[in-house]
Amino acid sequence: MDTFSYTEAGNVCPLCKRPAICTLYDGGNHKYVRCENCNEFLITCVAEQILSPQPATFLAQYSALSKKSNDEQLLLIKSPSADSKELVHVKWKSRS
Ligand SMILES: [Zn+2]
């Protein structure tokens, strides 16, 4: 992960709202979250805004997905487009 330029941004996990280590990269457009409950995952700031008002039961789906990540792949949660307020897509991203 040392290819990214990190900016410390102490925060809570967007999925379970517990304290988590969040670091911004890509000019602040992406957030790398390290959560004891949800494992590690990546989320775009747009996706975070979309997910923020959702109920915990909805967010738990993404948390469950993230827990399936492994040493080779991280969950990436992103919106289909910058101005979308609807579905959030997920895909797996190689750690390399
Ligand atoms: Zn979490």
Report CA(80)–ligand 1 centroid distance (Å): 22
Rounded to whole angstroms, the Cα distance separating 51 from 87 reads 9
Report CA(13)–ligand 1 centroid distance (Å): 5
Report CA(55)–ligand 1 centroid distance (Å): 14
Report CA(14)–ligand 1 centroid distance (Å): 7
**Residue pLDDT, tens place only, 29-82:** 899 999 999 999 999 988 998 898 999 999 999 999 999 988 888 999 988 766
Rounded to whole angstroms, the Cα distance separating 73 from 81 reads 23
Q: What is the pTM of this model?
A: 0.79
Residue 86: what pLDDT? 59
